[in-house]
């Protein structure tokens, strides 16, 4: 999508954060606020670009240079603390929601020794599960879901996603399973976590899309990442 298309159609992610009765500080509401702000800034950018293009005193090269200056300034603002403010807030809310959901699944009144014992037992169970073939592991996980077996469920979900993907667990299946499990544990916390995840994903995606469009519209090259050997 180009600049004109985004200004005319808006963000395709807007439907994911639609709503009008939620807390204005909720992640989805913050993502909507960022969308409105970004569209207003892009509208101003479009007007400035039109003025440059209509300036008969500028050569084609001069127009390109002026557009690039505008674009560079715009991208620089996106990367400032203020430009990243809403994304930063939604990430914090998401992380807090994750912690709350995780604590809701831990045994009440668990001591430090009890927690360490549970972690060691989980690691042993993970070794047993990973010794299974991929199909056996998936069957065992689905049985845990069906039987509300928190030991097996937690052991599988604590494994790195890359390992689970290599054994046939798709990202969508894992996400759906987690949402189902969390909803059974605590509906309120599960909903708050889902909303925070969505709000953060949308806020991050929108910023990235705007940067891509501005770079394309104003001929601003991508930043080069220089890797040094240590």
Distance CA 181, CA 190 (A): 9
Which pLDDT belongs to residue 19?
80
Cα 10 to Cα 119: distance, rounded to the nearest angstrom: 47
pLDDT, average across residues 146-158: 93
What span, in angstroms and rounded, lies between the C-alpha atoms of 155 and 43? Answer: 50
How many Å apart are CA 52 and CA 72, to the nearest integer?
15
**pLDDT (0 to 100) of residue 228:** 58
* C-alpha distances out from residue 138 to 129, 134, 185, Å: 10, 6, 22
pLDDT band at 226; cut points 50, 70, 90: low
> What CA–CA distance (Å, rounded) separates 202 from 205?
5
State the pLDDT at residue 83.
96
- Angle at the Cα of 23 from the Cα atoms of 172 and 205, rounded to 5 degrees: 40
Q: Report pLDDT digits (tens) over 55-92.
A: 999 999 999 999 999 999 999 999 999 999 999 999 99
For residues 71 and 21, give the distance between their C-alpha atoms in angstroms, rounded to a whole number. Answer: 36
Say what the pLDDT of residue 225 is: 57
The residue-averaged pLDDT of 11-39 equals 91
Q: Which residue has the tokens 């940067």?
A: 211
Q: For residue 72, what are its two tokens?
A: 């560079």
Which tops the pLDDT comparison, 105 or 156?
Answer: 156
Distance CA 187, CA 154 (A): 18
Distance (Å, rounded) from C-alpha 143 to C-alpha 73? 55
DSSP string, 153-220: HHHHHTS-HHHHHHTT--HHHHHHHHHHHHHHH-HHHHHHHHHHHHHHHHHHHHHHHHHHHHHHHHTP
43: nearest Cα among 19, 67, 8, 85: 8
> Would you place residue 106 in the very low, low, confident or very high pLDDT band (cuts 50, 70, 90)?
confident
What ranges do the domains of the chain cover? 3-91+193-218, 111-188
Single pTM value for the model: 0.81
Is residue 172 exposed (0-12), middle (13-18) or buried (19+ Cβ within 10 Å)?
exposed
Confidence of residue 105 (pLDDT cuts 50, 70, 90): confident
Residue 227 CA to residue 230 CA, distance in Å, equals 9
Instruction: Compute the mean pLDDT over every residue in the chain, rounded to the nearest whole number.
Output: 92
């Amino acid at each position: 999508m180009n600049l004109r298309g985004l200004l005319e159609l808006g963000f395709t992610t807007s439907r994911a954060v639609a709503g009008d009765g939620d807390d204005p500080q909720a992640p989805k509401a913050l993502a909507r606020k960022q969308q409105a702000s970004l569209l207003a800034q892009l509208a101003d950018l479009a007007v400035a670009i039109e003025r440059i293009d209509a300036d008969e005193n500028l050569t084609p090269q001069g127009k390109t240079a002026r557009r690039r200056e505008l674009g560079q300034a715009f991208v620089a603002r996106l990367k400032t603390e203020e430009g990243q403010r809403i994304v930063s807030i939604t990430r914090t809310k998401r992380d807090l929601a994750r912690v709350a959901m995780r604590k809701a699944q831990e045994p009440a009144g668990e001591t430090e020794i009890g927690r360490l014992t549970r972690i060691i037992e989980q690691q042993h169970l993970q070794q047993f599960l990973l010794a299974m073939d991929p199909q056996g592991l998936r069957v065992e996980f689905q049985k845990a879901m069906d039987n509300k077996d928190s030991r097996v469920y937690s052991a599988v979900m604590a494994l790195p996603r890359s390992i689970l993907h290599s054994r046939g667990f798709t990202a969508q299946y894992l996400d759906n399973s987690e949402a189902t499990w969390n909803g059974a544990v605590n509906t309120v916390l599960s909903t708050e976590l889902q909303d925070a995840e969505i709000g953060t994903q949308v806020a991050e995606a929108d910023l990235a899309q705007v940067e891509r469009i501005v770079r394309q519209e104003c001929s601003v090259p991508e930043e080069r990442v220089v890797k040094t050997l240590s």
